[in-house]
Amino acid sequence: MIENIIFGLGAIMIVEGLVYLLAPYAIEKVLTLLKNLSISVRRQMGALLLVVGLILVFLVYKPVTASLASITCC
């Protein structure tokens, strides 16, 4: 379990690093746009991203656990 958490954090760091490396000016524009949004809109965006992330994680891990449960011994 801890390996999965570390893997996920590492993957996020890789993607974030690539964005800052390849498109630093785009990040500045995005941050400016986010700053101009109201707090309620930013919270709604955060909630949406949270739900989508949870759905993605559920879709990835559900088939793995279901396939493990179907394995029978002997």
Residues ≥6 apart with Cβ < 8 Å to 42: 34
> In angstroms, how far is CA 43 from the centroid of its own chain?
16
Residue 60 lies in a domain: yes
In this prediction the pTM is: 0.63
Residue 11 lies in a domain: no
The pLDDT-based confidence of 65 (bands split at 50, 70, 90) is low
Looking at residue 67, its pLDDT comes to: 61
Looking at residue 71, its pLDDT comes to: 62
Q: Model confidence over 7-43: pLDDT tens digits?
A: 989 999 999 999 999 999 999 999 999 999 999 999 9
Q: How many domains does the chain have?
A: 1
Is the separation of the CB atoms in 68 and 60 below 8 Å? Answer: no
Rounded to 5°, angle at Cα 16 from 63 and 3: 45
Looking at residue 47, its pLDDT comes to: 97
Task: Print the domain residue range for 47.
Answer: 24-68
Burial (CB count <10 Å: 0-12, 13-18, 19+), residue 61: exposed
